[in-house]
Amino acid sequence: MLKRSLFTGSVLAAGMGILAAQAPPPPAAPATPAQPGQPAATTKSYRAKDLLGTRMNIEGNTNVGTVDDIVFSDDGVIQYLIVTTADRKLFTVPWEAAKFDWAQRTAVINITPDRFRTIPTYTIETYPQFYTPTYRTEIYRVYGLTPGQERRLDRRLDRREDRRP
pLDDT band at 116 (very low <50, low <70, confident <90, very high): very high
Average pLDDT over residues 98-117: 93
Domain 9-24+52-163, CATH class in plain words: mainly beta
Q: In the chain, count of helices (H) and strands (E)?
A: 5, 6
The three-point CA angle 69-86-72 to 5° equals 10
Hey, is 152 helix, strand or coil?
Answer: helix
Average pLDDT value for the chain = 77
Q: In this predicted model, what pLDDT tens digit does every residue of 14-59 receive, in sequence order?
A: 444 444 445 444 444 444 555 555 555 567 788 888 899 999 999 9
Per-residue pLDDT band at 64 (split at 50, 70, 90): very high
Tell me, what's the pLDDT at 7?
42
Phi, then psi, of 15 in degrees rounded to 5: -75, -20
Beta bridge partners of 109: 98
Q: Is 58 helix (H, G, I), strand (E, B) or coil?
A: strand
Q: What residue spans define the domains of the chain?
A: 9-24+52-163
Specify the amino acid at residue 30.
P
Whether the per-residue pLDDT at 95 is higher than 90: the answer is yes
% of the chain beyond a pLDDT of 90: 47
Q: What is the dihedral of CA 130, 132, 135, 136, to 10 degrees?
A: 80
Angle at 78 between CA 122 and CA 162, to 5 degrees: 150
Quickly list DSSP for 104-148: TTEEEE---HHHHTTS--B-TTS---TTSHHHHHHHHHHTT--TT
Q: Write out pLDDT tens, residues 126-151.
A: 989 988 889 999 999 999 998 865 54
Lowest mean pLDDT among 35-39, 77-81, 97-101: 35-39
Q: Which pLDDT belongs to residue 162?
A: 61
Sorted by sequence, the CB contacts under 8 Å of residue 149 that are 6+ apart come out as 96
Lowest-confidence region among 27-31, 72-76, 105-109? 27-31
